[in-house]
Structure 1
Amino acid sequence: MAYEIEDWIDEAMHHLTKDDSNSGFISKIIFRLNRMRTQNRMANQINEVKTRVVEMSHRHKRYKLDASISTSDYTAIDPRLCALYADAEALVGMDGPRDEITKWLMGADQQLMVVSVLGIGGLGKTALANEVYKKIGGQFDCHAFISISQKPDIVRILSNILSQLGKETFTPSCEIHGVLNNLRENLQDKRYLIIIDDLWDKSAWDIFRCALPKNNHASRVITTTRIEKVAMECCSYRCEFIYKMKPLNEHDSRRLFFNRIFGSENACPERFKGVSTGILQRCGGLPLAIVSVSSLLANPATSVDRQWEYVSNSLSDKFGIMPALDGMRNILHLSYKNLPYHLKTCFLYLGIYPEDYIIRKSDVVRQWITEGFVHKAQVQDAEDVAGSYFNELVNRSMILPTDIDYQNNVVSCKLHDMMLDLILYEAAEEKFITVTDNFSTLLGLHNSVHRLSLQYDNGNHDTAAATTSLTHLRSLAIFGNSKYMHMHPLSDFKFLRVLIIVFSDAVHQMSLDLTGIRQLFQLRYVKIEANIHVQIQLPAQIQELKLLESIDIEWGSVCIPPDIVHLPHLIHLVIPEGTGLPDGIGNLKSLITLRSFDLGENSLHNIRSIRELTNLRDLNLCYSGKNVVSNMETWIDVLRSSLEKLSNLKYLHLYWPDTCENGLCSLNPPSRHLQRLEMAYWWFSKVPKWIGGLHELHVLKLAVKEVSDDDITLLAQLPYLTNLGLRMRGAPKQKIIFYKKAFPVLRYFKFWCRTPCLVFEAGAMPELKRLKLRFSARGWGKSGATAPSGIEHLLGLQEIFLEIGGLRDERRAAELALQNAIDMHSGRPSVKVVSCPHTQFHSDISD
């Protein structure tokens, strides 16, 4: 009923707000007669609609929906939860299984070995495989980690492996045996480690096995599965290579439970210890169940004591005797049931995404806003509120973080497949989302389909698309292989608000016709995710989409309509590099995001007009090199003056290689609120002084000709800097010293230079977790080049990544010297070494 009323109101407003000012005399008469008919028809419907609206209003008050919506301060990610995902030491019950599997894999056997991890959902198979992968992956020539869905796109998955190996991916027009042969050739002479997570059937394994050469280089493969027969097939029926996951014992269960709720096993108040025993018994040692329940208790909706009592009483007393899967579902349903109303809606919406899909936070929060799920107080920003909703779902362990940045922000997430099953069940019950791989399944359902996710896999040719009527559709998401997609005429979806099209394959040359969206007067959000081979055609006149808020086309080839500058509500505009914009972008006063603005494809007038976009927070400037800029100094002066006017800017990325070194040294900071500044390809002679005034900066990537002690002192005083990347031309004239207490919160440091002349004093970079060095070993031992000293003083260091250029003997000498320096570190950080092609490295950072 609510959808019907909303459709009626939308259509009525569309007709009543149409403008006839540009029409001729006869056209105006016809237009006004049609409007009168529309008004008469609307009048006849008002009484019925009024009754429905009154009832909805009463229901709204009765259930106090607004009261359930959080309007409190922004919800941050719970640091206790970050520890569970980010720190290996915080993982409970993994040490023994990880070390046992590692012992199997690192034996002396030179033959290809396959180990299969077997267990039901929620036992932690993926986490265990990932821990093994992180521990030993650096000891192999190449490695890859892939997840398999129940309906795997084999070509895409094989292409993903090639991508992780640094090789070219394949198009769907290639036969599968061609991709298999290429992958096999790339692995033939290498010692490789491949993780194949969540295998569901033997047929998929039979295909993957063909790509894995038995090359006698001690290569290793780990598979995870819930199905014993699949595990047996993977291991060639050698039971000794099947690791059967066991539930956590009582001690580890308590550790995981209390660490999640209180941050420490010993911090549990005495009054909760008794009830916690009963709760843990019902969790049956399943990590997913324990984390779900403990997250519920760590984020109480009511008083703490009442929440513990509620959870204890709600869990089925039969869990101890129920099959583990049924008990697990009981716990997950409890977590869902306990969500506030607004979070339930946002959670169910995630069902539009396919199994194992990596969901970017920035995408989904904008989709929630477009759908109208986000309710904000007058002073709050909608994206901040939506981001808070996302963080709440993370804190409640309803979604799994897949990428956590160095500020403990979750950048992307995925759904555990048991959570996805729960979503699809609840969404179907409430007719909230419809998920299918074929339009033919929708015949007869057209009035009840409001959000549709089409997930095409191999072999499903959808011939019913053109005959299925879905006039009430509000959101359409299409995922899958391009050659199986058959587009329904977009113009038929007159109430559509959200359009998402994601090509899962590396598509061949093709065209995507979006001209039909011109008639979708309710359209607010468009996202196309493909690659550079896709030709995307937008309508020639797009300004009629007056409600359009977001256009996100990150890849592909697209021509932007001239009248895009007349979209009054456009907030986010993401277009591919190399795409020009029409003059007049200064009219887009609502813009918050602009990526990528190609300085070589836009006029000087447009570069000057950037200063008028004072609401911009996220600006990505690039230079694709298609057009030569004749008067560089003028362009840089105009760019500098434009940037200085953007007082709300938080994220600035500038990519323009081989620029004037000091072109922006005199820049007044565009915004004191900058949090992320990426200029790793704009060469400065030294660190600009204005960077010292950016006290909210978290991420800095910079390219400089020289680095002095004063430069290091300036950067070291930035109070929130957690991620620093420095590129230097040539070799430093003197050692670069990081003094005691320098960079107190830095967690990631990347340094590119001719030689790694670094000194870390005791107490420097106390929070550093990851160190990445890229340098040339050319002339190692002759030119005075030495390994960085003081690495042992970086007490929090967990991972070191080395990219070394030069001749083989020189690289080996440098690697040995660095390994000796690293061996002095008491924490034994993991080390990964990659050899860079000499010519490529030379062109990247040479004079």
Structure 2
Amino acid sequence: MATAAVVGVTTGVMKPLLSKLTKLLEEEYVKLKGVRKQIKFLRDELSAMSPTLEMLADTEELNPQMTAWRDKLRELAYDLEDCIDAFISRVDHERDVHSGFIKGFFCKLKKLKQRHDIANQIQELKASVIETSERHKRYDLAQLKNKSSGSSVDPRLQALYEDIDKLVGIDAPKKQIIELLSMEMNGSSAKLKVVSIAGCGGLGKTTLAKLVYEDIKNQFKCAAFVSVSRTPDVRKILIHIANGIKCTDIITKDDDEQQLVDKLREHLHDKRYIVVIDDVWNEQDWGFIKLALPDNDLGSRIITTTRSVTVAKCCSSQVYEMEALSFDDSKRLFFRRAFGSENSCYPHLEDVPDKILRKCGGLPLAIVTVSGILTNVFAKTEWDRVLNAIGSSLAKKDDTKTMTSILSMSYFDIPHHLRTCLLYLSVYPEDHKIEKQCLINRWIAEGFIHKEKGQNEYETGERYFNDLINRSMIQPVRVKYGQAKACRVHDIILDYIKCKAAEENFVTSLDAAEPVCTSEYKVRRLCVINYNEENVTLWADEILSQVRSVTVFGQPVKFTLLPSTALRVLELGDCRGMEDHHIASIGKLFNLKYLRLCSHFITRLPENVGELQHLQTLDVRGTIIEELPRTIKKLQQLAHLYVDSDVRFPDGIIGQILSLEELRQYGVVSYEQGQSLQQFSKLTKLRTLKIK
């Protein structure tokens, strides 16, 4: 199979598809009559439309016409990739069957019915590509510009004018920031000092910085508070600093960035100043801005705020990582905003307020938003409705636009490939602890990670994982030696990415109590929550025929495993009721790359598991499998194998799984098993081996 390229969200389907089409043209697959010409046409047409798709991916609001075109192209790309994967898998399967007869193979292949089926599919898809391309040419690309972007109000503006009497839990952080600034003027404190406040969007960084600024600015000769946008105009920022420090009389409209920097440095060189640079998004922006702020040994101070820990450390060695509000402070803020009083005197609401606050997770922006929805609302049914919306659909409501806008700023600042990885987390339910190892292997199986020079795919995935932590988009869990072994997603961020994933037809979440999907598009990734006792049947509809990923939480879900399925990921690690008969036909999933099972009712893997020629990750920890089948030696793409220490391997099998990079955990309970360790010398790609 062709390796996947680095992907984005809307572009996430297109780039791996173009990569596969290009690779296909280089291989013998396209020696079949007519196929090469068709593939080349598809690649060229889709390549011409790809730049537009990338622009769309960075546009926060689209008109209905462009949204429809984007969605049409996305679904078309999905169908094309599925068609190509099915074609390559069938060819590879036949090549294996006729091993030793390669020269005559393609002649025989022409006679196969499958070849004609694929050719017909490609022809139909080609017609769709032509139609989509014509529509693309008719559109004016100027429509991609967000017409409202120039006149929209910065959603952070309210934080600059927050009434101090309404603030809760801010005194201790304010005191700590002032202590870090070392306001006394003796010794080393006369040096320029920079303190950076870091934390996710909506945590109150701007409010805290503004409060500190107002409290101490009178101790300085010059003072300025400047906000930076996600796509900043450095010249405007420098002019705003000049306005704050009252030196506009030396600034002209013709001054470029270098002239402005020189004039600001000249003005500040003999003055004690404090400047707050609010919401710095990247190291490059800070690198330009700091040029205008000289170290004049007069006790000057700079405060920066940022959503990225990496950027914070670039700005300063003094980093204050802002924490969420305590539950008690959250409660005080919530009731003060909702009812004007810090104490709840409405017993009929029962424990619903506490449940809402736990979902808000101490995030002031979320608490203020939700309390605003519930201001002077006393009906318990309305409170229940809001509680149920948090984590799945709150971001869609009109009265949460400010919160959604702030979260959107963080989301659209993320590179395309990280957006895809972040959206993928929407397959997990609220408060779920997501194991890093499992998550990265799933990213790899989905084609979200591209192996970079000097790093394998897993190492690249770890870098993505850590980047999302540094950007405050996920919360680290089980940190050991500075590395998180797992993560969680804040309920409010999860709510946002679930809405985004649904909008992009990226992930479809179903409650098994109502296993009906009404999407106008085919489901591509499916998450099923089934905590009912009874079995639920899916796959009864064509809309579920091309699912690439299935994740089930709770009780087993009955579904038909079609030989032609596009399924790449089957995650059943949280489906504890699985039994042997549920996986009896697993070998039909010829495109499967990731399989995880964890049930005490699974006693064996079927022999047909050896048919999974593309399987990269096999995880059977938590089952009661005693011995792996001999057919696992056929899994020549298997890179990650996770078993319990009491699982036995058939003699001589381990040394034949040549792609193995990671094995956890190999149990040595007898002399014979100890002898088999010699087989590991054949595994030249093995980087991790855990022995017990």
Using structure 2 for the length normalisation, give the TM-score.
0.50
Distance 1:382 1:510 in 2: 32
Residue 588 in structure 1 maps to residue 657 in structure 2: yes
Q: Is the Cα contact below 8 Å between 2:510 and 2:517 reproduced in 1?
A: no
Whether 1:467 and 2:540 are equivalent positions in the alignment is: yes
Is contact 1:438-1:460 (8 Å) kept?
Answer: no
Q: 1:118-162 deviations in whole A, cap 9, x for unaligned? A: xxx9988xxxxxxxxxxxxxxxxxxxxxxxxxxxxxxxxxxxxxx
Which of 612, 615, 640 is residue 685 of structure 2 equivalent to?
Answer: 615
Matched, 1:350 2:302: no
- Give per-residue Cα distances to partners, 1:488-538, cap 9 Å, x unaligned: 13346711000101337xx589656322220111100112234xx332432
Partner of 1:416 in structure 2?
Answer: 490
What residue in structure 1 maps to residue 615 of structure 2?
A: 548
Q: Which residue of 2 aligns with 1:238?
A: none
Give per-residue Cα distances to partners, 1:174-224, cap 9 Å, x unaligned.
Answer: xxxxxxxxxxxxxxxxxxxxxxxxxxxxxxxxxxxxxxxxxxxxxxxxxxx
The answer (yes or no) to whether the contact 1:92–1:252 under 8 Å persists in 2 is no
CA contact (8 A) 1:491 1:516 kept: no
In structure 1, the partner of 2:255 is none
Does structure 1 residue 499 correspond to structure 2 residue 575?
A: no
Partner Cα distance (2:95, 2:201) in 1: 61
Given the alignment of the two structures, is residue 524 of structure 1 paired with residue 593 of structure 2, yes or no? yes
Q: Does 1:399 align with 2:460?
A: no
Note if 1:577 corresponds to 2:645. yes
Q: Does 1:363 align with 2:432?
A: no
SS at 1:615 equivalent: coil
SS at match of 1:599: coil
| 8 Å contact kept, 1:571–1:591 | yes
For 2:582, the equivalent position in structure 1 comes to 513
Judge conservation of contact 1:550–1:572 (CA < 8 Å) in 2. yes
Q: Which residues of structure 2 form unaligned runs of 5+?
A: 1-75, 142-168, 176-199, 230-275, 291-303, 308-364, 374-398
| Contact kept in structure 2, 1:574 and 1:596, CA below 8 Å | yes
For residues 831-846 of structure 1, the aligned pairs below 5 Å read none
Cα deviation per residue 1:619-662 (whole Å; 9 max; x = unaligned)?
A: 1111xxxxxxxxxxxxxxxxxxxxxxxxxxxxxxxxxxxxxxxx
Matched with 2:455 is 380
**Helix, strand or coil for the counterpart of 2:526?**
strand
Match of 2:84 in 1: 9
Look up the equivalent residue of 2:560 and give its one-letter code. P
Contact 2:474 2:488 (C-alpha < 8 Å) held by counterparts: yes
CA gap of 1:350–1:494, structure 2 versus 1, over 3 A, is same
Q: Percent identity?
A: 28
**Cα offset, 1:51, TM superposition:** 6.5
Among 407, 431, 456, which residue is 1:332 paired with? Answer: 407
Are 1:534 and 2:601 matched, yes or no? yes
Counterpart-to-counterpart distance in 2, 1:435 and 1:477: 9
Higher strand share: 1
Counterpart of 1:345, as a letter, is T
- Match of 1:496, SS state, is coil
* CA contact 2:430–2:491 (8 Å) conserved in 1: yes
Partner Cα distance (1:295, 1:19) in 2:
61
**1:464-505 residue CA offsets vs partner (Å, 9 max, x unmatched):** 43634521000001112x3xx33313346711000101337x
Query: Is the Cα contact below 8 Å between 2:508 and 2:527 reproduced in 1?
Result: yes
Q: Among residues 630, 633, 638, which one is paired with 1:565 in the alignment?
A: 633
> Where in structure 1 are there 5+ consecutive unaligned residues?
64-90, 98-120, 125-246, 257-264, 278-292, 623-847
When residues 537 and 479 of structure 1 are mapped into structure 2, their CA distance, relative to the original with a 3 A threshold, is same
For residues 410-809 of structure 1, what are the structure 2 equivalents within 5 Å? 410-438=484-512, 440-443=514-517, 445=519, 448-457=522-531, 459=532, 461-465=534-538, 467-469=540-542, 470-480=544-554, 482=555, 485-491=556-562, 494-503=565-574, 511=580, 513-530=582-599, 533-558=600-625, 559-583=627-651, 584-600=653-669, 603-604=673-674, 606-622=676-692
DSSP 3-state at the match of 2:609: coil
Matched residue, 1:37: 113
Q: In 2, Cα distance between the equivalents of 1:39 and 1:429?
A: 35
**Quick check: 2:594–2:616 contact (8 Å CA) kept in 1?**
yes
Q: CA deviation at 1:53?
A: 6.9
Instruction: State the AA in 2 paired with 1:5.
Output: L
- The higher-RCO structure (CA 8 Å, 6+ apart) is 2
Q: CA deviation at 1:375?
A: 2.5
Change beyond 3 A, Cα 1:296–1:413: farther
Q: Is contact 1:518-1:545 (8 Å) kept?
A: yes
Contact 2:601 2:623 in 1 (8 A): yes
Structure 1: distance between partners of 2:658 and 2:419: 34
Displacement of 1:580 = 0.3
C-alpha displacement of 1:610: 1.7
Q: Mean Cα displacement is larger for which, 417-426 or 389-398?
A: 389-398
Q: Distance in 2 between matches of 1:294 and 1:51?
A: 53
The answer as to whether partners of 1:438 and 1:462 remain within 8 angstroms in 2 is: no
Distance 1:536 1:419 in 2: 39
- Rounded to whole Å, the distance in 1 between the matches of 2:573 and 2:595 is 11
Q: Kindly state the Cα deviation for residue 302 of structure 1 after the two structures are TM-superposed.
A: 6.0
Q: Any conservation in 1 of the 2:83–2:121 contact (CA below 8 Å)?
A: no
SS in structure 1 of the partner of residue 570 of structure 2:
strand
Distance verdict in 2 for CA 1:567–1:301, change over 3 Å: farther
Q: Which residue number corresponds to residue 681 of structure 1?
A: none
**SS of residue paired to 1:541:** helix
Go from structure 1 to structure 2 and tell me whether the alpha carbon gap of 1:605 and 1:250 turns closer, same or farther (over 3 Å shift).
Answer: closer
Is the CA contact (8 Å cut-off) linking 1:593 and 1:616 kept in structure 2?
A: yes
CA contact (8 A) 2:201 2:407 kept: no
The Cα shift of 1:363 comes to 1.6
C-alpha distance 437-301 of structure 1, shift in aligned 2 (>3 A): farther
* Count of equivalent residues: 405
Counting only pairs closer than 5 Å after superposition, residues 61-72 of structure 1 correspond to structure 2 as: none
Is 1:525–1:551's contact at 8 Å kept on the other side of the alignment? yes
Q: Do the aligned residues in 1 keep the contact of 2:452 with 2:460 (CA within 8 Å)?
A: no
Q: What is the rounded CA distance, in whole Å, between the counterparts of 2:506 and 2:539 in structure 1?
A: 23
Q: Kindly indicate whether the alpha-carbon contact (under 8 Å) linking 2:536 and 2:558 is maintained by their aligned counterparts in 1.
A: no
Contact in 2 for aligned 1:401/1:410 (Cα 8 Å): yes
CA distance in 2: counterparts of 1:450 and 1:5, whole angstroms = 13
Following superposition, the deviation at residue 41 of structure 1 comes to 3.5
1:274 aligns to what?
Answer: 226
CA RMSD of aligned residues (A): 4.8
Q: Look up the SS of the partner of 1:442 in the other structure.
A: coil
Secondary structure, aligned partner of 2:572: strand
Greater helix share, 1 or 2?
2
Deviations 1:422-473 (CA, angstroms, capped at 9, x unpaired):
011111111100011228543454952010011123x474534363452100
Is the Cα contact below 8 Å between 1:299 and 1:396 reproduced in 2? no
Query: Against the structure 1 CA distance between its residues 34 and 387, is the aligned structure 2 distance closer, same or farther, given a 3 Å change threshold?
Result: same
1:565 Cα shift? 1.6
Helix, strand or coil at the partner of 1:489: coil
* Structure 1 residues 571 and 509: alpha-carbon distance in aligned structure 2, compared to 1, 3 A threshold: closer
Code of the residue aligned with 2:227 in structure 1: it is: V
Q: CA deviation at 1:23?
A: 7.8
Partners in 2 of 1:367 and 1:351 — Cα distance? 13
> 1:439–1:468: 8 Å Cα contact kept in structure 2?
no
Q: Which whole-Å CA distance do the structure 2 matches of 1:444 and 1:34 have between them?
A: 39
